[in-house]
């Protein structure tokens, strides 16, 4: 398969000067010192924004890049787009690149929206004739009305992004780079952008930078985690996002709690589960006979724990009449999360989330509302459980994972002592759901004729 982007041992060092006159000294004195046969003195401190970064992106692949602010994400993207030169290493790209790196990047605030469209599109490789042919479509996509003839300095932040994204959506790029820009803008425009991105993924290559790991899992097949300018982890979007979530929580907890990674007991089960999911996608999508089965996945679930408490079981049972272990959607069920305390817990919290195969949170709950009303301290070696009764939604065809956790604290200050990403696996072999991420049992659907 053709490589769209190849990054090899890429590094970028910035020169940091403590005083303004040190910049002049660095420009003049080292040269004089060399002429006099002396060892040149350095008047700056080096900051390595990126250090020996290497990876490849295949043509047509969507890759998510995550990391904390200052980890080197934007520096990397600027070098891939050619707006920043590397200190060392190399970048090879195959195809036209369009980028939305930051709010208003490349826009002149004194120019009108029309003038900035022509300037930006020409920088991206379009001729004036090509821009003329696409201008009306660009303006329609941006949907900023008469503001298109006004200086950009009068625009809101959302309007700037609208125009910038409208341009890159119409330059026929082979590689699209998006850096957090979609966090700005209203829901209607974000939906329009997502529709464009979905269509673009059919043929183009996408680099997507976001702090929202759910969006990364939703859009991307693979992920890259940058930490302090280096590649910390490369893998599937799901595995990289989960590792990054654990890291960010550890940074928040500090010395209060040490999170220890949990690896599955049998690695082969994970690939087997993926195979099952792909096989199930071939089942009929609409047959009005939904059947879901639940599989315990405690032995192979990944996550982390501190050692203060651990989840011992997660179960989904039927409360309505029917065959135990078989669910259709719409019936009353009970989710039970049981845990054991190894240290005293002052305000224990048990909870769960049901996620689809893209990592999107569909629904869930925790015991925090109950513990806010009635504090329930737990002593060491005690076993306790959270019970959640509800009507199970009707889920589309596919595979779903139940995340379960036990924490101690309140809404704003708590520590997750045990977090299991895939404690239960729900397999749906057919579905009543035709629209949306999940459905409800409709009591009446009919078409009638009214003569007036």
CATH classification number, 3-241, choose in 3.40.50.2020, 3.40.140.10, 3.40.50.300, 1.10.10.60: 3.40.50.300
> CB of 147 within 8 A of CB of 113?
yes
pLDDT in tens, 255-273: 778 888 876 654 344 443 4
**pLDDT score for 102:** 65
Per-domain boundaries in the chain = 3-241, 266-430
Per-residue model confidence as pLDDT tens digits over 322-378: 777 678 888 889 999 999 999 999 999 999 999 988 788 899 999 998 877 778 899
Mean pLDDT of the chain: 84
Enter the pTM of the model.
0.77
Assess whether pLDDT exceeds 50 at residue 280.
no
**pLDDT-based confidence at residue 51 (cuts at 50, 70, 90):** very high
What does the pLDDT look like over 364-418, one tens digit per residue?
999 998 877 778 899 999 999 999 999 888 888 888 999 999 999 988 889 999 9
Report the topology of domain 266-430. Coagulation Factor XIII; Chain A, domain 1 (2.70.50)
């Amino acid at each position: 398969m053709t490589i769209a982007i190849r990054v090899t041992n890429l590094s970028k060092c910035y020169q940091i000067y403590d005083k303004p006159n040190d910049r002049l000294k660095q420009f003049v004195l080292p040269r004089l010192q060399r002429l006099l046969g002396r060892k040149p003195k350095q008047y700056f401190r080096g900051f390595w924004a990126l250090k020996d970064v290497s990876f490849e992106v295949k043509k047509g692949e969507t890759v998510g890049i995550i990391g904390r602010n200052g980890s080197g994400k934007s520096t990397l993207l600027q070098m891939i787009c050619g707006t920043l030169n590397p200190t060392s290493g190399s970048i090879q790209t195959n195809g036209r690149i369009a980028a939305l790196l930051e709010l208003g990047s490349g826009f002149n605030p004194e120019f009108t929206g029309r003038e900035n469209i022509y300037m930006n599109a020409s920088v991206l490789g379009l001729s004036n004739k090509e821009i003329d042919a696409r201008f009306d479509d660009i303006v329609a996509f941006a949907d900023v009305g008469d503001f298109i003839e006004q200086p950009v300095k009068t625009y809101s932040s959302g309007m700037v992004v609208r125009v910038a994204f409208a341009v890159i959506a119409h330059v026929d790029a082979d590689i699209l780079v998006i850096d957090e820009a979609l966090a700005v803008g209203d829901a209607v425009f974000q939906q329009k952008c997502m529709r464009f991105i979905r269509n673009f993924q059919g043929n183009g290559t996408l680099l997507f930078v976001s702090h929202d790991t759910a969006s990364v899992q939703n859009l991307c097949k693979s992920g890259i985690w940058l930490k302090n300018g280096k590649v910390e982890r490369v893998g599937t979007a799901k595995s990289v996002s989960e590792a990054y979530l654990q890291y960010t929580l550890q940074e928040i907890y500090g010395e209060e709690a040490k999170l220890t990674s949990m690896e599955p007991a049998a690695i082969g089960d994970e690939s087997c589960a993926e195979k099952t999911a792909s096989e199930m996608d071939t089942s009929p999508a609409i047959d009005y006979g939904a059947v879901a089965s639940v599989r315990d996945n405690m032995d192979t679930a990944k996550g982390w724990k501190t050692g203060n408490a651990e989840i011992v079981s997660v179960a989904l049972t039927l409360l309505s009449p029917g065959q135990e272990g078989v669910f259709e959607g719409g019936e009353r069920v009970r989710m039970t999360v049981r845990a054991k305390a190894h240290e005293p817990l002052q305000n224990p919290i048990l909870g769960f989330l049901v996620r689809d195969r893209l990592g999107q949170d569909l629904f869930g709950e925790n015991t925090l509302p109950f513990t806010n009303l009635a504090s329930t301290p737990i002593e060491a070696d005690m076993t306790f459980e959270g019970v959640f009764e509800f009507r199970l939604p009707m889920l589309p065809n596919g595979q779903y994972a139940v995340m379960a956790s036990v924490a101690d604290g309140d809404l704003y200050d708590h520590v997750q002592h045990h977090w299991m990403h895939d404690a239960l696996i729900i397999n749906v072999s057919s579905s009543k759901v035709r629209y949306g991420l999940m459905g409800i049992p409709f009591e009446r659907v009919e078409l009638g004729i009214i003569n007036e």
